[in-house]
Structure 1
């Protein structure tokens, strides 16, 4: 397997004229693995599969005077049922199949859930041409393929697989009945299209043969062809003499020769299931063995693909910028990707950055070199979208393959702001009671941990909402989860307030009511308090981002990727947990703003805590990594194309 797959993949991509879509984009090109979805080949009824010229054709019209009508007594000819093919199998009435079994027998998909086509996206040329994977390789060291079974799409795929294997169990039972009764001639003669079905077993064996041949060396192909000769297997099935146990044993031995040792247990289980099913004449148990067999094949292909990702990871990362530039140049030149609005967005961000610097005093103005100003404008523009109260409709088109990472950064940043608001409400209540926090740093750390643990309710291990949560769509600011857990968060704040004020351990309504009202108001409205923390967060994030960007500019993409493993300089070395800094003077005996539910309030200047500084440095490193790669691709193509002639005098690196 050579490295020419990279150039070949580019050629394949450049020949595609479809629109660009990121992961999960509706109506776009998608796959079965790594968060992607492929539209199944049997779904021919989707309107997107209809040629546009056919869709624009006007409906058929009858010549004048010949249109049939009810008055003339004309009726449409009865619809004729399709005639069964020569391979059609009669459904024996003696089996007494339920209506559900018959429906699945007719309606289930024709191909197994795992086919050579569905696995083809795990081939090396497809891996090398997968732009999403190339981008993800820069940000995730543990990147690997896995079946996409999440969400509605995953539910649909599982349902299709269940129906397919259910129909296969029924089909095996029908073949066994015909073999035992020697194919009742009278039943065959009376068979009609309503009592026959098109068998799936031949296609399953053909698929099995094709997939196994892609997973074993060529020297084993004659053995595969000999043992999986479809006409011979079907003849043996019709006569009831197929030795499924011997076939399963042979396949297990073949697969165990070439798969990882960790898959051997699966192969043995497959043989046991088929053996038990054959001995007990239970088609469902035989089908369980077939399911295990196809699961082994999929796992083997995934193992190969993930090994290739690890092997070619360095190549994928180092080739990111030239690959993307070549890819987008082709798309733009053919008019398949429109980025002028993104250029206008950048120019507007650059103008805002220039105006902002002009309005600042010399001591507070940006100290960046003039050569870094264009890159700094990019970071300021994207930071504004990450920090704004309402989620942006979308990020610029040039961030198409980074949109998921930007939404995640936005969610983290907004959670930081929300936690600061919650801490502010707590301190305001304490100071209103003329109390003093004796162990403020420890209290703050515990407070953030407790509030964030409440936010993790309804989320999976990867921080994503569990199915059923946020069903109306993603709330990227994080407000949906905050509102959903409003009562619990307010109760936790009230508990901290009671402990700080030496009140009764049982939280009274007079404590929780104003706290809950204030929390709901400030989280649901773009208040002055939000603007204060937004502006403070913006300065901190931009400072951290530009600091990291200056370090990354002379580095290669691989070096930048490896640098992300370095722990930031802050003393906190734990996981990235949104934390909030204090906003009130700890020695103050009075609140700096009202605690009422409608007060906007103002916050006083405060020192950032070590946990928050750690989080901000992590955000800055992530945003700088993303921005530097983006800048190297798009600065010469779009943002700075009018100044390419002056690039030699600019210290900004494009490559």
Structure 2
């Protein structure tokens, strides 16, 4: 179960998940390290204990209207098309007289048998999994608001939502089937024969899942109540006879949940009872399922609340333990041959040899110089014209962050090139900007918003992809508006005489590794390395938690001039890069980069070496 990573982007406030969310949580990569922590069964949310009703109810339910003229499908055909196993001895027949549509029949046969939220899908929110999760530990260093949330993004999220919707629709049809059989007094057709179409029932599994999840959320003292009120065999017997008091069950569940969940969930629990009660009065199986969806959404939210509280409680430990945890993990992987680092070694040594040709021997002996090699290597990957194939494998758990830094830096270079082309056009027209600082600030805002479309983890396919051409032309059009306003005093109408040269120049310089690109790339490299190494000097003297805390009150004030606006952006990127680099160096310097050339004492000193000047000329 992953955190929405710094995509980074789209965090949600803990505890405010929508009830309509479906699907499993994102999966974080698991680590191979043993777990040192176990979860306390006792829940710290204590309210007055819930009432304990019995399962013998007096209110009949689920006598639903029957539908006629069904469109039948063969269960054998459905099994062949969906890969469903042959029915078991517990399978139920689909009554022809109920009039289910072909879609409803297909879902009964093929939809998943387990609800979208199960004990297994929530298990990665348990404390031992949190403590052994490498991605989570790394993300904790860079995101103060790190928290779990349901995964509904991308194709994977879309698939999960579809599977969840199919499950709940199938469950609604199944409730109709149970109600039909309760009304007619049995499950057999005419002459004692079972209907041709048979499906595996989901209600028993749903009640078992509900019981399992509740036992992970409530204290052990409440487990007997859970077992008594959710005795699956008794509940199913009452459903088959049409006498289950589902309102009573939902009311008991609401009381239990409100006893142990956060107060903000109380209204949600009351809504669940109301949804089920209203649906039962109307004999609406779809409404009953809506209430059950709300119930499972509450359970997921409760588990998320607990997990996110644990992340906050253990955040300091997770951060402080980052370096020894990663060293132990990677050392075991490298020694066992399950993690190969030769290409990373060659990458580092290649940059070291290259820099040795440009600096004097005295400088190369300084204790800070080895980490400088790494920052120069990273700067080259982040700033090079073409997208790198990949980052060194030693940056496995930082690759997403590095891709984001690369996109940010490439966007800054694009912005510099765009501003240069704009100014060149204005000067060619023998015009001038009356308020260049204000114009630049507005220019950055508007052009930057267009480049937001490139804020994912992939670079433009420069000069070839339709997406790239669309973004470049949008930028050129916005630049032409600025030029029209500066030259003609009117930004509403843009002539081809203005747009054509701007678009041609922009497309050329962004499509080719031109001298203009190389100029701004070189300037960006110098600024980035200066800022990064200045911050690295500070961070090397701090613990991992100290680095995080030092970023709570950034020393950068919001920019007000052309130069300070650009410098602000570079400083923010440099802060991220220095943070990543220092943690990475403390893990990998003694394991790989300098292991062969230094003694153990030197390696220990190197991890906390101070940096005085990292920029190489």
Pairwise same-fold verdict (TM > 0.5)? yes
Against the structure 1 CA distance between its residues 645 and 83, is the aligned structure 2 distance closer, same or farther, given a 3 Å change threshold?
A: closer
Against the structure 1 CA distance between its residues 519 and 188, is the aligned structure 2 distance closer, same or farther, given a 3 Å change threshold?
A: farther
Residues 631 and 654, structure 1, Cα contact 8 Å, conserved in 2: no
* Offset, 1:35: 6.4
Q: Which moved more, 1:369-378 or 1:321-330?
A: 369-378
* 1:500 aligns to 2:500 (yes or no): no
Which residue of 2 is the match for residue 518 of structure 1?
505
* 1:424 aligns to 2:378 (yes or no): no
Against the structure 1 CA distance between its residues 504 and 164, is the aligned structure 2 distance closer, same or farther, given a 3 Å change threshold?
A: closer
* Offset, 1:188: 7.7
Which residue of 1 is the match for residue 553 of structure 2?
566
Which residue of 2 is the match for residue 121 of structure 1?
124
Structure ranking higher on relative contact order (CA contacts 8 Å, 6+ apart) = 2
Which residue of 2 is the match for residue 47 of structure 1?
none
Please list the CA deviations of residues 382-404 of structure 1 after superposition, one character each: whole Å capped at 9, or x if unmatched.
11000001111100000000000
2:204 aligned counterpart, secondary structure? helix
Residues 24 and 117, structure 2, Cα contact 8 Å, conserved in 1: no
* 1:484 aligns to 2:466 (yes or no): no
Q: Which moved more, 1:327-336 or 1:305-314?
A: 327-336
Q: Pick one of 376, 379, 394 that aligns with 1:380.
A: 376
Residues 29 and 134, structure 2, Cα contact 8 Å, conserved in 1: no
Q: Which moved more, 1:521-530 or 1:370-379?
A: 521-530
Q: Distance in 2 between matches of 1:551 and 1:119?
A: 40
Residues 24 and 160, structure 2, Cα contact 8 Å, conserved in 1: no
Which residue of 2 is the match for residue 474 of structure 1?
458
* 1:454 aligns to 2:450 (yes or no): yes
Q: Pick one of 169, 181, 185 that aligns with 2:172.
A: 169
Q: How does 1:253-652 map to 2 (within 5 A)?
A: 253-357=255-359, 370-456=366-452, 464=456, 474-475=458-459, 483-502=469-488, 505=491, 506-569=493-556, 572=559, 609-645=563-599, 647-648=601-602, 652=606
Q: How does 1:42-53 map to 2 (within 5 A)?
A: none
Residues 426 and 493, structure 1, Cα contact 8 Å, conserved in 2: yes
* 1:209 aligns to 2:217 (yes or no): no
Please list the CA deviations of residues 97-134 of structure 1 after superposition, one character each: whole Å capped at 9, or x if unmatched.
11111111000011110110110000000000110000
Q: Distance in 2 between matches of 1:477 and 1:533?
A: 20
Against the structure 1 CA distance between its residues 237 and 543, is the aligned structure 2 distance closer, same or farther, given a 3 Å change threshold?
A: same
Q: Distance in 1 between matches of 2:341 and 2:165?
A: 44
Q: Which moved more, 1:430-439 or 1:394-403?
A: 430-439
Q: Distance in 2 between matches of 1:561 and 1:128?
A: 19
* Offset, 1:564: 1.9
Q: How does 1:188-203 map to 2 (within 5 A)?
A: 189-191=192-194, 194-203=196-205
Against the structure 1 CA distance between its residues 83 and 454, is the aligned structure 2 distance closer, same or farther, given a 3 Å change threshold?
A: closer
Please list the CA deviations of residues 195-221 of structure 1 after superposition, one character each: whole Å capped at 9, or x if unmatched.
221111111100000000000000000
Q: Distance in 2 between matches of 1:641 and 1:435?
A: 60
Against the structure 1 CA distance between its residues 537 and 400, is the aligned structure 2 distance closer, same or farther, given a 3 Å change threshold?
A: same
Unaligned runs of 5+ in 1: 1-21, 25-30, 39-78, 359-364, 465-472, 574-580, 582-607
Unaligned runs of 5+ in 2: 8-22, 31-79, 610-617
| Superposition RMSD in Å | 2.6
Against the structure 1 CA distance between its residues 184 and 404, is the aligned structure 2 distance closer, same or farther, given a 3 Å change threshold?
A: closer
Which residue of 2 is the match for residue 595 of structure 1?
none
Q: Distance in 2 between matches of 1:134 and 1:98?
A: 49
Q: Which moved more, 1:436-445 or 1:264-273?
A: 436-445
Which residue of 2 is the match for residue 45 of structure 1?
none
Against the structure 1 CA distance between its residues 189 and 161, is the aligned structure 2 distance closer, same or farther, given a 3 Å change threshold?
A: same
Which residue of 1 is the match for residue 37 of structure 2?
none
Q: Distance in 2 between matches of 1:265 and 1:201?
A: 26
Residues 553 and 652, structure 1, Cα contact 8 Å, conserved in 2: no
Q: Distance in 2 between matches of 1:257 and 1:530?
A: 63
Residues 460 and 468, structure 2, Cα contact 8 Å, conserved in 1: no
Against the structure 1 CA distance between its residues 441 and 174, is the aligned structure 2 distance closer, same or farther, given a 3 Å change threshold?
A: same
Against the structure 1 CA distance between its residues 87 and 651, is the aligned structure 2 distance closer, same or farther, given a 3 Å change threshold?
A: closer
Q: Distance in 2 between matches of 1:571 and 1:261?
A: 39
Which residue of 1 is the match for residue 613 of structure 2?
none
Against the structure 1 CA distance between its residues 373 and 237, is the aligned structure 2 distance closer, same or farther, given a 3 Å change threshold?
A: same
* Offset, 1:145: 0.2
Q: TM-score, normalised by structure 1?
A: 0.78
Residues 24 and 116, structure 2, Cα contact 8 Å, conserved in 1: no
Q: Distance in 1 between matches of 2:217 and 2:450?
A: 47
Against the structure 1 CA distance between its residues 477 and 439, is the aligned structure 2 distance closer, same or farther, given a 3 Å change threshold?
A: farther
* Offset, 1:483: 3.2
Against the structure 1 CA distance between its residues 265 and 403, is the aligned structure 2 distance closer, same or farther, given a 3 Å change threshold?
A: same
